[in-house]
Chain A
Amino acid sequence: MGWLSRLFGKKEQSSQVAKTRLQMVLTHDRSDIPPGLIEQIKDDIISVIVEHLAIDPDEVVVELTKTSNESRLVAEIPIQGGARRKAPVVSD
């Protein structure tokens, strides 16, 4: 059925999946940071931010990226409803 799904462009080629997975796993291998730690950091970041801003935890992406000579922790946290605060500021 491989040719059918390819015909309809539904399934990513397995070589592409392999490449993406390898790049991800090697970023962790090279920096000696286990993937589970990133998940914990992500949960911690979410728990701090939801105190202050309206965010959808499912939309948050925290990942390790690797360029030729540095590793970087990148967090992408879309804020719901523009940049409005979750709770109105108390006016005096």
Chain B
Amino acid sequence: MNAKVITVTSGKGGVGKTTVTANLTAALAMLGRRVVAIDSDIGLRNLDVVMGLENRIVYDLVDVVEGRCRLNQAMIRDKRFSDLHLIPAAQTRDKMAVSPSDMIVVCDELRQDMDYIVIDSPAGIERGFRNAIAPADRVLIVTNPEVSAVRDADRIIGLIEAENKGPGELIINRLKPQMVARGDMLSIADVLDILAIDLLGVVPEDEAILVSSNRGLPVAMSSANSTSASQAFRNIARRLEGEEIPIMDLSAPAGLFGRLRSWVGRMNGKEGV
């Protein structure tokens, strides 16, 4: 078996790379895949808290690279899904502690025992980003429908192509259907028009995301199909597996009649949006 290495990156910080990584790894594990998430944001460790594994860290990525432990000693196994693992970043070092070739060596060692290796990239375009994309077979670019995030995504797309890691695939995160309907947010079509790359998924803005990171329980793990974001992440995981899943309909009902209809829908216990 040979794992696929998937790197999640964005250029801009705060667009949801870590949330996407935590949820995609959880969703892939729920599909029965053997998955390891690697936090490559050395010095600003975060994936551990979002995944709810922060209390189990003994060794980290830098310990592996510098030979203080074996790779499987740094791999934390998630008790909720035995095939889900995390290799945390070091918190007290900086990006220079790891090189792109270190990342390739680590991933090559993991490949035999895993189906997916998902790397959470740091923001920026410097060493940390280079480390994260060096071993990548596929690169997922996370953006938000706003000018700064889309501009940075475009820059990242160019850099990924220059490194022969392209074409990347896009995830539009934090879309607000009501704002799109009002004409106050770039639509999916607008973003695709500008960036001209393949769309892997769209994740709507969802308060459940914050609640889940409060609890250290990725929304994709919630068994109910209750939130639109958790469904979106599970759909993306299935697309990574090669399934043809249409992008979910996020069009908001516009105008008074539409709002009335969605209000009536909610009264009947059906969620609008």
Contacts and interface: CB of A to CB of B under 8 A. Distances in A.
Interface of A: 2, 6, 13-16, 18-19, 21-23, 25-26, 29-30, 68
A25 B184 contact: no
Given A13-B183, A15-B183, A26-B194, 13 more contacts: A15-B180, A15-B184, A15-B186, A16-B183, A18-B186, A18-B190, A19-B190, A19-B194, A21-B147, A22-B186, A29-B151, A29-B155, A30-B158
A57 B196 CA distance: 35
A68 B195 CA distance: 11
Nearest to B154: A26
Contact of B194 (A6, A13, A16, A23): A23
Contacts of B271: none
Interface string B171-209: 000000000101111110010011010000000000000
A22 B183 CA distance: 16
B150 interface: yes
B146 interface: yes
Q: Closest 7 CB pairs between A and B?
A: A13-B183, A19-B190, A14-B184, A15-B183, A26-B154, A18-B147, A15-B186
Interface centre among B183, B185, B194 (most CB of A within 10 A): B183
A25 B149 CA distance: 13
A6 B254 CA distance: 14
Interface string B144-162: 0011001100110010000
The A interface is mostly helix, strand or loop, or mixed, namely helix
Given A19-B193, A21-B147, A23-B194, A30 B154 contact: yes
A46 B64 CA distance: 62
A64 to B, nearest CB: 15
Nearest to A6: B183
Among A6, A15, A21, max chain B CB count under 10 A is at: A15
A13 B185 CA distance: 9
A70 to B, nearest CB: 14
8 contacts: A13-B182, A14-B184, A15-B186, A15-B190, A18-B147, A22-B150, A23-B194, A68-B196
Nearest to B155: A29
A22 B196 contact: no
B241 to A, nearest CB: 30
Nearest to B187: A15
Given A19-B190, A19-B194, A68-B196, A25 B151 contact: yes
B186 A26 contact: no
A29 B155 CA distance: 8
A30 B154 CA distance: 8
A29 B154 contact: yes
Nearest to B190: A19
A44 to B, nearest CB: 28
A18 B183 contact: no
B185 A22 contact: no
Contact of A19 (B182, B184, B186): B186
Nearest to A23: B194
A32 to B, nearest CB: 10
B193 A18 contact: no
